[in-house]
Each structure stands twice: as C-alpha cells, then as structure tokens.
Chain A
C-alpha cells in the first residue's frame, strides 16, 4: 500500500479541490452514484471534439477515419480491460440500464425466454436489473423468481437448487450491490445455472470500477456496466456477451450502422457488435472511456481494489462507533465493496444528507434505486456513503464528525 499515493491521485481530479458554500472543502462520498473525472479523461474528450470530430464508419474522409479510430480504440481498450476473448463481444450502449434492457429484449424476441419459462433475479438488485425482467415477464408470460437476502446482507443460496431449475432460462444478478455493498459469490450461481442450461447476466456496474474483472474466467454469458462510475464520461455503457450467443440473437434497436442491407421488403443485419448499435454511437464518450481505462490501468486495478477495501474497513469502523447508527449490509469489510448504507436513530436520511451537505459532505439519501432491498431490511430509505480510488481517511473522519453534528442538531444520540 505504500506505493499507493492517494494525494497524487487527487491532484488529477480538480473538483476534489473545490470549496463549497461556507468555504468548506468538498468531501465527495457519492462515487457509487457517479465517480468524479480526472483531467486526463476530460482532456481526451476535449481533444476529440476540437481536433478529430466526425461521424464514424460512414464518413469517407480523413477526419472520419480518425473518429472511427478513436471510437473503435475505445472498444479495444474495454475488451482488454475486462479480458474479453474478442473485441467484437463489446457492445456500446448509453448506460448499464440500456445494456440490461438490451439483453432482456433480445432474449424475448429471440425466443429464448417464453411462456412458462422462469427468470431469476435477487432482492438486492438495482431497479435497472429488476424492471427490464418484469417487463420481459409481462411480454412473454414467463415467471420472475427471486433470490432472498440474509440478515447479514448476503445472497441467500439455501434454495439455489430449487430456485434455479430446468425451467430457468436466465439468471441476472448484481456482482456488487449498490446499496448493501455485498460482493456476490457468482461462481456458485453460474455453475448451477449452466448445469441446468440457463444463461447468466451480471450487473457489474459497481464491480468493474472497483475490482479486477476477467469475463473469460468469470464464465457468465452477459456482463453489463457503465462508463461514468469508472472515472469515464456519462452517456456510454457496455454490454459484453459471448460471441456465439450474440451472433444468434436478433437486433435490439433498428437504424443506421446495424444493418447489412436494407430493401423495401426487409433488412438483414450486421454481425455483432454493430447489430446492437443502431445510429450514431457515443464517439467522444468512447474516446473518454478509453482514457478512463488507461488511467485506471496505470494505477492498477489490484491497487485500487486494495485501497477500496482498506478505506471501507476504516469507514465501517468509524461509523459503527457512533451510537444509534446501524449499517444495513455486511458490517465487516469481507467480500464487500465500497458503498456503506446506514440508518441513524431519530433522523431521517434526507435530513442527514442535508446536514452533511451543509458541512461539505456529499452522500446519497433515499432508496438508491433498490426499493425491494430496503423493504427486506424494513427501512424506507437509508443514507449511503460510497468511496473510490481518491477517498481519504480524513474524508471518512469528516463524515463521522458531520454525523455527530447531525445528531446534536436534531438532539438525538
């Protein structure tokens, strides 16, 4: 850890040096919502727009070739970063939600999920990994079934064999919970799913930013994530899928770039990934995501994961010293990502977030797009602090101090 220089990293993120109202330094603890961006990423996007901007593939001029190169090199970098066997397995979407919707839509249209089939998800999913499956179930007459969550906030695998059966066509699970922080044992679930012939989709929105990912060794069939949570820009998400599977599936959206040929009677479709990328894609965003991957890779994902682990352990310790504070999710930094949700006796999460904000501490309050997970723990909402490669112990101390101030303000604790 001595090689990990968090202060040097922070210098790459100008926003982290900002002061807020009342001349308080920003303490940004909302990275699970969206991460901040280093100068290198912003400059790559600026350079693209100022020097290389054109449309891709169809522009028959030098700038068009440069823009195509920028866009497609983003795809190469993503493929290498996640260990994809082929660059053609990397599909760009606008975010992780669209990536998951894409999978749900084409599995229905392609006849893989139909009436009487079963779809299995979990109680700890983000709404973006719940609603597309509810819609698919409604469209097809398939049944949606759920993994439970234990009191400790872990995936309940006790009924794995009765839940994932020959009727199951797809299991879609989060890798790292955005609310509980839990890192799920995907190996066990993937092994069972493949044993019964079901496909597995993984929502890796909180995983790819924090831990080294190798999709080839993971063994899932689809993996979805988003650029803006991994120091990249908004407006670009990724769906990785096994090539032979993608090649067997019908298109998602229709439009330019996704066709082979179009006549007035019918169209034939391009091979993956272009089959699933209708219209002008997120070109500058791909250049930005490529720069984000270069940035994370230069630091090293193992180092980032170790920092995340250490800062989460420190935060769990500091927070659980506070009387009246209850962590919702695993209370120790074991198989756990850097998002900590909590309740505070006598103060509603909105009021906590407001008071924290008045001290410069930015957190999220509410249900974090995970209402079923909140209901599971009998709470309507929580306050969530989430950490990343630039988070310091001093910022955790500021959080703890601001929570104590909140208790005094509301005369509780």
Chain B
C-alpha cells in the first residue's frame, strides 16, 4: 500500500498543529467517543447560536488521522448552519466510505479532500470519522436539549 496516499502533507500539518484544540465554554452538549478497536478517544463540545454552529472544541488523543480530521472539522463547520454542516459531514462520510471510488468536492471539503486516500485503508476509516461522529452526536443532543427548553417554555 502506498502510505503517501494516506499521509498527505496537509494531514501531517494538521496533526502537528491542530486547529481549535482544547475544550472551551460555553457549550450546549459534550460527548466522549472512543474507537474500541484501537482506543483512540475524543471529548468534543458544541456551541450553537440558534441554528448556526458557533464553536466546536475538543480534546483528542489518537493517531495522526483522527487528530488531523478533528482539526479539519474545526476549520470547516463553525459559521455554517447546522443543516449546511450536516451536508458537509455527509459529503466527508461519503468519501470515507467510497473505497477510493468517490471524488471529493474541494469546494465543500477544502483541506478535507486530503483524506480521500484514507478511504483506501479500511482499518483507518473509523479514525478519520471519529471526530465527525462525535460532532454529529453532540449536535443532535444540543438540538434535542434546545427543543426541550422551547417546549418547556411554551408549556409555561
């Protein structure tokens, strides 16, 4: 296998200098996800401003792929509406599950296109998706909590 396809320079740069790392307040939901096969872990918080992703903060321990992926996630999603961000996630996940057959859209994924090579290494796909799945989980928890607050307020 050609490891250079996996370890793009962009990925190694994000790994060495991760963007947005560290846990911050405020946040509406925090999740802890692990990759049970290897033990990679991430604690991730989301802060929503209405229907917009305001901040994503995280504390991750794991391989270069999982760390760089969380860094790219941070670059891409804050500022977007939740709906737009979910579409970016879908696009990233489609490339990851594409076994190298799906061409990534640079306009949507920006630095995330560097992960296209990961799709050829099935054992590493979970590493690349760890932060993204954590974000999806945290965001749906934050949305569920705000729906609950809204309905509580209406009930008053």
Contacts and interface: CB of A to CB of B under 8 A. Distances in A.
B61 interface: yes
Given A21-B1, A357-B1, A350 B65 contact: yes
Interface stretch (A192-200, A243-251, A274-282, A364-372): A364-372
A401 to B, nearest CB: 16
Given A357-B1, A358-B1, A348 B62 contact: yes
A49 interface: no
A354 interface: yes
Interface string B1-42: 111001100001000000000000000000000000111110
Interface in B52-69: 61-65, 67
Given A348-B63, A380-B61, A354 B39 contact: no
A52 B149 CA distance: 70
A351 B64 contact: yes
* Majority-rule SS of A interface residues: helix
Which of A350, A355, A380 neighbours the largest number of chain B CB atoms within 10 Å of its CB?
A350
A381 B124 contact: no
A354 B15 CA distance: 16
Contacts of A381: 38-39
B1 A365 contact: no
A351 B1 contact: no
B127 interface: yes
A4 to B, nearest CB: 34
Contacts of B12: 410
B3 A348 contact: no
Contact of B124 (A21, A354, A355, A380): A354
Contacts of A351: 7, 63-65
Contacts of B65: 350-351
A22 B1 CA distance: 7
Interface in B95-143: 121, 124, 127
Contact of A354 (B37, B40, B41, B121): B121
Contact of B127 (A350, A358, A409): A350
A381 B62 CA distance: 9
Given A355-B3, A357-B1, A366 B37 contact: yes
A376 to B, nearest CB: 14
B39 A380 contact: yes
A354 B65 CA distance: 11
Nearest to A21: B1
Contact of B39 (A21, A22, A358, A366): A366
Which of B41, B63, B65, B121 neighbours the largest number of chain A CB atoms within 10 Å of its CB?
B63
A349 B40 CA distance: 10
B38 A365 contact: yes
A350 B7 contact: no
Which of B12, B39, B65, B127 neighbours the largest number of chain A CB atoms within 10 Å of its CB?
B39
Interface in A348-399: 348-351, 354-355, 357-358, 365-367, 371, 374, 380-381
Contacts of B7: 351, 409
A63 B62 CA distance: 54
Contacts of B64: 348, 350-351, 410
B38 A366 contact: yes
Contacts of A374: 39
Contacts of A350: 38, 40, 62-65, 124, 127
A348 B35 CA distance: 14
Interface string A34-74: 00000000000000000000000000000000000000000
Contacts of B61: 380
B124 to A, nearest CB: 7
A367 B63 contact: no
A350 B65 CA distance: 9
Nearest to A367: B39
Which of B6, B7, B38 neighbours the largest number of chain A CB atoms within 10 Å of its CB?
B38
Which of A21, A348, A349, A355 neighbours the largest number of chain B CB atoms within 10 Å of its CB?
A348
A150 to B, nearest CB: 23
Contacts of A365: 38
Nearest to A364: B38
Nearest to A381: B39
Interface of B: 1-3, 6-7, 12, 37-41, 61-65, 67, 121, 124, 127
The 6 closest A-B pairs by CB, nearest first: A350-B63, A348-B63, A366-B38, A358-B3, A367-B39, A381-B39
Interface of A: 21-22, 348-351, 354-355, 357-358, 365-367, 371, 374, 380-381, 409-410
16 contacts: A21-B1, A348-B62, A348-B63, A348-B64, A350-B38, A350-B127, A351-B7, A354-B6, A357-B1, A358-B2, A365-B38, A366-B39, A374-B39, A380-B41, A380-B61, A410-B12
Given A350-B38, A354-B124, 8 more contacts: A348-B64, A351-B7, A351-B63, A358-B2, A365-B38, A366-B37, A380-B62, A381-B38
